[in-house]
Chains A and B, each alone.
Chain A
Amino acid sequence: MPKPSLLFLNVFLLATCGLVYELLAGTLASYVLGDSVTQFSVVIGLYLSAMGVGAWLSRHLEEPLAARFVDVELGVALFGGLSAPMLFLATSHVRLFPVLLYGIVAMVGMLVGLELPLLMRILEGRVQFKDLVSRIFTFDYLGSLAASLLFPLVCVPRLGLVRTAIVFGLLNAVIALWCTSLLAQAIPPGKRLGLRVRACAVLAVLTFALAGAEAIVKHGEEQVYADEIVYAQTTPYQRLVVTKNRAGFQLFLNGNLQFSSADEYRYHEALVHPAHALAPEAREVLVLGGGDGLALREILKNPHLERVTLVDIDPAMTNLPLAYPPLAALNGHAFDDPRVRVVHDDAMAWLTREGPSLKAQLAIVDFPDPNHFALGKLYTTRFYRLLREALAPGAAVVVQASSPLFSREAYWCVVRTLEAAGFNALPYHAHVPSFGPWGYVLASTAPIDPPARLPAWLDGKLRFLDGPTLASLFVVPRDLAPVEVAVNRLDNQALVRYYENAWHRWQ
């Protein structure tokens, strides 16, 4: 008979593996399906109840128990080890993903539930019952502690989700192989070879998977995001991902960085306040896009403000501060301000319907970069003409217009399109470390000059802008100077093409 102490080391390792699979499933579920509280809760509940099913089923397993135990281990190794790779490959399959997720969780949970009862029966009579129970549970719980610390501190940052799963699967398989010797006396000689062959096969599959992990991860998101993902949700319109590092947190929409909490104040002060300088007493303000509420934070500094209407298509975006409270702190709880009205609608559809009755004195147009047609339409002459209908005479408009350095043609296309729609346009840019030089266009149906000073009510409220800095934003360096471009219309979507070309160039 083997040394029981080695078997208890086994229990410790098995418990670690088991909890790691559970944490992996919970993490992946909240990445893909969003709403991490629900997902973790469901995954843990399902996993534990599946363990109960496994424990209950264990009574039906008969001798040779040691051989059964090795088989169960191999099952855990295979399903657990391949869980994350399979789920990663299925992330884009909206319907398949939950089925696969809960199937794997139930399967792994059931197999893990079989482990301890089987082990206890194997050791029954060889160790005193009170010692058996006390040691098995001690090592089991210690193993869980190890997993809960290793997973966030070592596994996810060092290995990533896919490799973590495979590595623990390999560990499981190695334990199974080890057990064929450790429990050799309890396994009929005729069965030993078969078990070892199976164990080697599982090891081979997992090693193969580990070699392919790079490719799998490339498909998934881990590569896209340099930092730890702390929130993710797929909505009908886009995929929201929040990552976190030492400098702060970052929001990505469809893999494109929207802001970093470390330097977003530069972006948003430069977006909102030059326009404020043109319309320092704006009472009725319109924000199109900007569902993170960060532009709102700047707008709410205006003491004359009576109402600001924010139109964003995605409710998940404006609910993000609720789901991820650090964002609420960052935007100064802007959505709680009674002057803020939030509308969830396509901006074009909303402007067509509601624009003419609005008479905004200031409009902030803050859409994601025009990287597909559904966004490109929000930068067309048609859109800007609709916007004009929503403005009071002489109102100030600002449009975020992508990078004048990385996508110079796209940037000037926005300028020309605003002009073609009847606006006087004034291009300017600010340096935002996360983005590089960033382009905006100030526009108005009235003649405009670069604003000379910021409204007095902003005194002491800004981190980036002051009088001289404001003036400097309107200086166009030679490498950002105008280029010849077409006007962006619904029937040519020229901007999306400029943007795509630029993107290909810089990749």
Chain B
Amino acid sequence: MTSRRDLLQLFLGAPLALAACKRSGSTPRIEGELVDEELLRGHRVRDEGRVPLLEPSTDEPLYDAIVIGGGVAGLAARERMGREGLSVLLVEADSVVGGTAKGGQNAGGAHPWGAHYVTAPLVEAKPIVRLLEELGVIVGRSEDGRDVVLAEEAVVRAPEERLFHLGRWEEGLYPRAGASAEDLAELERFRAHVRLLAARRDAQGRRAFIAPLHYASRDAEVLELDRVTMGTWLDREGYRSARLRWLVDYACRDDFGLRVEHTSAWAALFYFAARSGPDGEPRAVIPWPEGNARLVTHLARKGRGSIEHGVLGRRVGEVGEECRVVVEDRQGSRRTRRARRVVLAVPAYVARRMVDGLAERDAGFEAPSYGSWVVANLVVDPAFARQEAPLAWDNVLHRSPSLGYVNARHQVDERAPALALTHYYALCDTDPKAVREKLLAVDHTSWSEVVLSDLEAAHPRIREHVRRIDVLRWGHAMVRPVPGLRARCAEASAARPFGRVHVAHSELSGVALFEEAYVHGLRAGEEVLAALGRHAPSDLDA
């Protein structure tokens, strides 16, 4: 059992831990639970190894396709195939679909458990534009046709972001108080740099930085950026301002779970440049109370075919003209399913465990490393908001290693008996052993203490107002874009079908974004359609 001081030091660092320990003793247990039994189930499966490919029972139906994994990629593939009339079964290990885009519900209403917004798409990103049109987020085109028009209520409301810096809240994320003229000049220079990168287009007019990357140019000079870390790039380009470095580091931690010293410069610059519009200005952000679970729900509803929850794909093999999929329910009982095609919408480290020969084929594509996260959802008394400066949507603490918190009710007018705040923490260590040990130190009590001590720096009276905290550990939340990953992904070898097995996952793009997962799902679905002789115009081009 570690002491409170050790615990806080491990996750918040010595200065914050010391301050927290000076401030108060620990408080009585706060209601809530650790809601990540999937993490443990995943570990058990890993330890058991590959299971035998059993014969299916005689009445087992033959599906056109089975999708393994109900994250965004899997749901997109299912919807694409079902739309053309294919019979599809989707199995998802968790009790809800969504993967890292799943959401939840507490006394404060709907809240995210992971990904919680998308950036307004550029007109080139056709499938994303179409999806957001279906959701009423995009309501038209600008007069010159170069940009989308967003519904006012869909865009994040002001105040969007704030930073607790030097003892007070500042608007925006750049630590502004006390910035020198040189600091501000560097910020301007960096922004101009980003605008230049965002404007970069190839002969066909394709941007170098755009999400999804399907629509990006193959710009060799830009890919060169993937050879160095963002830390190196900043040094090389003569950026010395500690404030700018903090902002970029925060961006890397927030989007990739990596520090600036470990993130590929390509990925870090992608974060900024892909979020710039045709005018060079940052794109609007589109959040939902439940985060990207709104998109997940839409995809799940729109798609056809059954979804089995709590069901794990354990093994995939081909027998003659068909695929066999061994699935396992929560009680551990297994069953062999039949399908003409399989879409593996799971991360590579899971896919390789399931399919013979896949690891060998992708031997050149070293399995990437994944970032671990701890997400806490807090139910907070509404009096909290009344005594504070107005909450922004995104609230970040400058001195803290956490990513701050998001107010899930920011866009909601309906009254609720409480606020729902979602606190994010990325474990940015690069040594996987250190991450595993840290994750295992997390339980409900310890993490409640970490979150409250973290928030207390900016909200001294948060403990009086918190009613409940639920905690979720993400062991392998998302792929980490270290230098070299994007270049490997650009070769796209790992995305090719393997026999009758098709793969779909955001990690195949090298950045874990909704847009990437969605497009990979559509792409895999369309591969299956073509293989089964259903000819339909592609969603990606139309």
Contact = CB atoms under 8 A, between A and B. Distances in A.
B284 A349 contact: no
B134 interface: no
B152 A490 contact: yes
Interface residues of B, number: 18
Contacts of B160: 491
B464 A490 contact: no
A491 B152 contact: yes
Contact of B415 (A92, A346, A352, A373): A346
A95 interface: yes
A490 B413 contact: no
A489 B149 CA distance: 14
B300 to A, nearest CB: 24
Nearest to B385: A374
B414 A349 contact: yes
A490 B414 contact: no
A399 to B, nearest CB: 18
Contact of B390 (A92, A372, A382, A489): A372
Contacts, number: 45
B157 A491 contact: yes
B28 to A, nearest CB: 16
Most central of A95, A491, A493 by chain B CB within 10 Å: A491
B414 A346 contact: yes
B401 interface: no
A236 B464 CA distance: 17
A119 B160 CA distance: 66
B40 interface: no
A381 interface: yes
A94 B157 contact: no
A92 B158 contact: no
B153 A382 contact: yes
Given A94-B383, A348-B413, A373-B159, A490 B390 contact: no
Contacts of A346: 413-415
Given A348-B413, A349-B413, A380-B152, A492 B387 contact: no
Interface string A366-397: 00000011100100111001000000000000
Contacts of B413: 346, 348-349, 352, 377
A491 B383 contact: no
B257 to A, nearest CB: 28
Contact of B152 (A345, A349, A373, A489): A489
B155 A491 contact: yes
Contacts of B390: 372-374
Contacts of A381: 152
B156 interface: yes
A349 B153 contact: no
A492 B156 CA distance: 9
A377 B158 CA distance: 9
A373 B156 CA distance: 13
Contacts of A94: 383
Interface in B404-418: 413-415
Given A236-B382, A373-B158, A490 B153 contact: yes
A228 B204 CA distance: 75
Nearest to B461: A93
B159 A349 contact: no
Contact of A490 (B157, B386, B415): B157
A489 B151 CA distance: 11
Given A95-B464, A373-B390, A491-B284, A349 B155 contact: no
Contact of B387 (A92, A313, A385): A92
A47 B79 CA distance: 70
Interface string A478-498: 000000000001111100000
A377 B153 CA distance: 10
A94 B464 CA distance: 11
Contacts of B159: 373, 493
B415 A345 contact: yes
Nearest to B382: A236
Interface string A92-133: 101100000000000000000000000000000000000000
Nearest to B387: A92
A493 B382 contact: no
B157 A377 contact: yes
Interface string B233-256: 000000000000000000000000
A382 B159 CA distance: 16
Interface string A337-369: 000000001101100100000000000000000
Nearest to A381: B152
A374 B464 CA distance: 24
Contacts of A345: 415
A372 B386 CA distance: 11
B449 to A, nearest CB: 22
Interface string A224-261: 00000000000010000000000000000000000000
Contacts of A372: 390
A53 B508 CA distance: 77
Nearest to B157: A490
B155 A490 contact: yes
A10 B317 CA distance: 100
B382 A490 contact: no
Given A92-B387, A95-B464, A382-B152, A493 B157 contact: yes
Contacts of A377: 157, 413
Contacts of B157: 373, 377, 490-491, 493
Nearest to A421: B152
A374 B412 CA distance: 11
Contacts of B155: 490-491
Sort A-B residue pairs by CB-CB distance and give the 9 closest, nearest first: A349-B413, A493-B158, A348-B413, A382-B152, A491-B155, A490-B157, A349-B414, A346-B413, A373-B390
Interface of A: 92, 94-95, 236, 313, 345-346, 348-349, 352, 372-374, 377, 380-382, 385, 489-493
18 contacts: A94-B383, A95-B464, A236-B382, A236-B386, A346-B413, A348-B413, A349-B414, A352-B413, A373-B159, A377-B413, A381-B152, A382-B152, A382-B153, A489-B152, A490-B153, A490-B157, A491-B156, A491-B157
